[in-house]
Amino acid sequence: MQVLFTVAFPLFALIGTGWIAGRLRLLGAHGTTALNAFVGWFALPAMLFAALAKVSIADVLNGSFIIVFGGSMLLTYVAGMVVARLLSKARLAHMSLFGLSASFGNVGYMGIPLCITAFGPEGALPGTLATLLSAAGLLTFGLVLVEIDIQSGRGSRAVQARVLKAVVRSPIVQAVTLGILVSALRVTVPEPVLRFLDLLGSAAAPCALFAIGLFLSDKGLGTARLEVTLASIGKLLLQPLLALALMPWFLDLDTMWGKAAVLCAALPAAANAFVLAKEYETFVEGASGTILLSTVASVATVSTLLVLLRVG
């Protein structure tokens, strides 16, 4: 039970602190936007680049982790699409956004801090790989399907241009790509630069968790209660169960990578799905409600999982 105080409590306490600050309007109307921008454009990319630049590329690209975590994420995404279709005969864009809400976990803002708190500095490696698989993999694929639906009849070039622009502009994708190149080419980053990146990157975890609370402070479940419930079940229960089912063939559960794969699979829905839903005005209430419900419920589910996995 000590793990609940050493690993789970600090994370959820920071989220709760952000929620209280949001409810009291202590950071003003644009506090969430500003803090998210700082984390997304500066702190998190700095941390990801520094973590990758310091290690061998072979230590990061863990094939077994990719299969277990990536496989559970993709299978949950497909299951979410099927559920959305069966519930309301939804179009492809709605199906894709429902699937993303049910499978795209908060690995960047919550997963990396969780892994570092649970496993120490090495925990940044599986957290970073999970972030890469989610952002550059599943999110890109989901965006392609949304654009195929929205841009139907306008030709494939419009789809390709929007997707390519979204991927290239992502500071997280840029930081990860640059970090992998530095690692692969064995480029030595000057010590002053590393210290700067470490200092900037150290703000990523607390600010990201605080930003989650701020974001949730003015959200509700909306009217799409059934879809929100099913998407949250998919995110918090189905995905980690799929990861555990894949585990015996590819990864040892007793290792850091094995435990991190299950923990990352069990994280609540990320805000990215809501951002896309808002941009396309599709499944907006469902995406927002799923983030709220899955994050609140994850206090119990993630804490239980930490105890069962004997983390910390």
Q: What is the pLDDT along the chain (312 residues), one digit of tens a residue?
A: 565 666 678 878 888 898 899 889 888 878 878 887 888 788 878 887 887 787 777 777 889 999 999 999 999 999 999 999 998 888 888 999 999 999 999 887 788 888 888 888 888 889 888 988 887 678 778 877 887 777 665 555 665 666 666 666 777 778 878 888 888 888 888 999 999 998 998 887 788 778 878 877 877 666 678 999 999 999 999 999 999 999 999 999 989 999 999 999 999 998 777 777 777 778 888 888 888 889 889 888 988 898 888 776
Q: What is the pLDDT of residue 238?
A: 97
Q: What is the pLDDT of residue 80?
A: 95
Q: What is the pLDDT of residue 78?
A: 96
Amino acid at 3: V
Q: Distance of CA 1 to CAs 236, 288, 308, Å?
A: 21, 32, 10
Q: What is the pLDDT of residue 264?
A: 94
Q: Where are the domains positioned within the chain?
A: 2-308
In 3D space, the residue among 84, 111, 81 whose CA is nearest the CA of residue 266 turns out to be: 111
**C-alpha to C-alpha distance for 246 and 260, rounded to whole angstroms:** 14
pTM metric for this prediction: 0.79
Identify the CATH assignment for 2-308 out of 3.30.565.10, 1.10.10.10, 1.20.1530.20, 3.30.540.10.
Answer: 1.20.1530.20
Q: Distance of CA 253 to CAs 21, 23, 129, 256, Å?
A: 38, 40, 17, 8
**C-alpha to C-alpha distance for 179 and 173, rounded to whole angstroms:** 10
**C-alpha to C-alpha distance for 274 and 236, rounded to whole angstroms:** 17
Q: What is the pLDDT of residue 163?
A: 61
Q: What is the pLDDT of residue 207?
A: 84
Q: What is the pLDDT of residue 113?
A: 84
